[in-house]
Amino acid sequence: MTEQSEHEWGWAHRIYNLDKYIFTKREPRPHEYHAHPFTGEPVLLPNDSRSRLENEFLVLRYLRQHTDIPVPEAISYTVEDGAASLTTSRVVGAVEIYECAESDQAQIVEHAEKELHEKILPALQKLKSRRMGGLTADDQLVVPPFIGSAYERGAFFRRPPESQEAEGEFVLCHNDLSQANIMVDPKTFEIKAIIDWEYAGYFPPEFEFKYWRYHPSQRDWEALGREKFIPTFEKLYESTGFGDPAAPRRREEDWWVGEPGDDEDLDEGAEEQSTLASQQLIPSTELPDVDEPSEPVAHHQSVDTTPSQ
């Protein structure tokens, strides 16, 4: 008998489900689409929605094989009833940085930054590629949120071809290392897991901005200097021969039907709804070739996900 899920919440583009051992996030099905607050029309998913979930599945699997970065175990990526779904192990004994006691925030951020710079970022940046973008095999270029939010929502960026450089010029970046995506032990402040790898991919190392220094409510793309990255992205994109990336129209401002964490936008009606679909695995996508780390690294141990016998 399947256990009842502990908690379910969501926003316009994602529905999340947490139970005792696993975490699932998925696209809403058509009948679950939010209504636009002004037009009443359904809020459709961005073109890269499915690619991002598949990308996270592949990135998690790849990191556990090739690094000791603490990440959840990728259990499955499925497509059912027109909605893509990613299931991972649940991280236990840890909380997101922004949920820690306010009195500990400064010390936790300082500790996390030290650990990121000494261990996690160097491990990521050993992984290189001559091709910009994520690990999916499709033609969709998943762009970092601080870039993608500057363009018309749903914009489609075609994946660029390989660079002609002899060595990989792009390094693996998380691209959203915020306080909401770094989980720490609330007592020792040690990083227990890095989560939410939807936007991960091979990009210039400077794209790994220090979002962990800011509470999610304080993160403003403009204030954090998004505009200085956009010309770099456009120059890289244009240099591949794909022409003007601004064909997906640039926007002067963004609108969202609810941000993750906005209580007023949570789907309260879905509280009792089970989203754990049957786990029919999709055949794994072939991972692209990347330069192997120069030194072997230990395989990351599972994050407390095995039920006791």
- Which CA distances in Å does 257 have to 91, 100, 148, 196? 28, 27, 16, 20
Q: Which two tokens stand for residue 277?
A: 């679909």
pLDDT grade for 147, boundaries at 50, 70 and 90: confident
Q: What is the pLDDT of residues 99-136, one digit of tens each?
A: 999 899 999 999 999 999 999 999 999 999 988 899 99
CA dihedral 295, 144, 233, 153 (to 10 degrees): 160
Comparing 94-108, 129-143, 145-159, the range with the smallest average pLDDT is: 145-159
Is the pLDDT assigned to residue 251 strictly greater than 60? no
Q: Which two tokens stand for residue 71?
A: 């990440």
Q: Angle CA(245)–CA(251)–CA(253) in degrees, nearest 5? A: 150
Output phi, psi for 250, to 5 deg: -70, 145
- Which CA distances in Å does 68 have to 119, 124, 183, 248, 257? 9, 10, 16, 37, 37
Predicted local confidence at residue 259, as pLDDT: 36
Report which of 99, 88, 28, 60 is spatially closest to residue 266, judged by C-alpha positions.
28
| pTM, two decimal places | 0.77
